[in-house]
Amino acid sequence: MSKLLLVDDDLELNKLLSTYLSQEGFEVTAVMDGASAVKEASLHEYALIVLDVMMPGMNGIEALSRIRMNSAVPVLMLTARGDDIDRIMGLEMGADDYVPKPCLPRELVARIRAILRRTLPAGHTSGHEPLHVGALSLWPEKRLATWQGQALELTSTEFSLLLVLAQQAGKVVSKNDLSEIGMGRPLTRYDRSIDVHMSSIRHKLGNLPDGRSCIQTVRGIGYQLVRD
């Protein structure tokens, strides 16, 4: 049974989602503020955190920032519908994905399960065998990655997206394929999550010896991991 931390200051919604998630087989701990979320994340191990953005006191963005100081636990943000700023900020701070509110409980469950599936071995490689592309090495089973021998601190989603690119190194992978395979959901119109995640991965990888980014953008199509 996967342990979830649910964080939302709306009492009725908190109770509704807690009940629904429990009925779907999750073990749920529910809190109603950002400070409690940070404390819970530091004291206990969770498979995933569902974190609302708009909360009084410490909001979800600040709570996420503090959680990411010590933990790579997957985080699914609840954002106001149409609020692109909160979505992008959340992704840039290390959120794995977001669901706009109001949302259907079954949609939330589908997103949670999609993220949790990505923590399992995936793709065309044996989970025990590392995948090497130039200075990049990935261990799918352990979900570990190194660049030039140094460990990479990647979120669950960043690892999954990088793995998809590595499995297709030298080829262009469309944004829709990246979203479907790496995030477990189809790409929606005006969805910038793939671009934000790729920007973060590029920053963590750094450049090739010739100064190029190892992840190239193919305008209007998608991204390509360069074989060095």
Instruction: Please give the pLDDT value at position 121.
Output: 46
Write the DSSP string, 33-91.
SHHHHHHHHHHS--SEEEEES--SSS-HHHHHHHHHTT----EEEEEETT-HHHHHHHH
Does residue 47 lie within any of the structural domains? yes
Largest CA distance in the chain: 56
- Show which of 64, 84, 117 is a domain's final residue: 117
Instruction: Please give the pLDDT value at position 213.
Output: 92
Does residue 126 lie within any of the structural domains? no
pLDDT digits (tens, 9 = 90+) for 29-80: 999 999 999 999 999 999 999 999 999 999 999 999 999 999 999 999 999 8
> Do 92 and 135 fall within a single domain?
no
Host domain of residue 44? 3-117
pLDDT digits (tens, 9 = 90+) for 45-57: 999 999 999 999 9
Angstrom distance (rounded) from CA 46 to CA 39: 12
Does residue 125 lie within any of the structural domains? no
pLDDT digits (tens, 9 = 90+) for 142-175: 889 999 899 999 999 999 999 999 999 999 999 9
> Do 75 and 102 fall within a single domain?
yes
At residue 20, does pLDDT exceed 70?
yes
Token output for 171: 């080829």
Dihedral sign for Cα atoms in the order 111, 116, 119, 125:
negative
Residue 105 banded pLDDT, cuts 50, 70, 90 = very high
> Do 158 and 109 fall within a single domain?
no
Does residue 88 lie within any of the structural domains? yes
Does residue 124 lie within any of the structural domains? no
- Show which of 117, 146, 178 is a domain's final residue: 117
CATH number at residue 43: 3.40.50.2300
> Do 110 and 138 fall within a single domain?
no
Return mean pLDDT, the chain: 91
> Do 193 and 111 fall within a single domain?
no
CATH number at residue 173: 1.10.10.10
Does residue 123 lie within any of the structural domains? no
Average pLDDT over residues 109-126: 73
> Do 9 and 108 fall within a single domain?
yes
Contact yes or no for 119/156 (Cβ under 8 A): yes
**Domain tally for the chain?**
2
At residue 123, does pLDDT exceed 70?
no
> Do 113 and 147 fall within a single domain?
no
> Do 7 and 109 fall within a single domain?
yes
- Show which of 62, 95, 117 is a domain's final residue: 117
At residue 117, does pLDDT exceed 90?
no
Does residue 122 lie within any of the structural domains? no
At residue 204, does pLDDT exceed 50?
yes
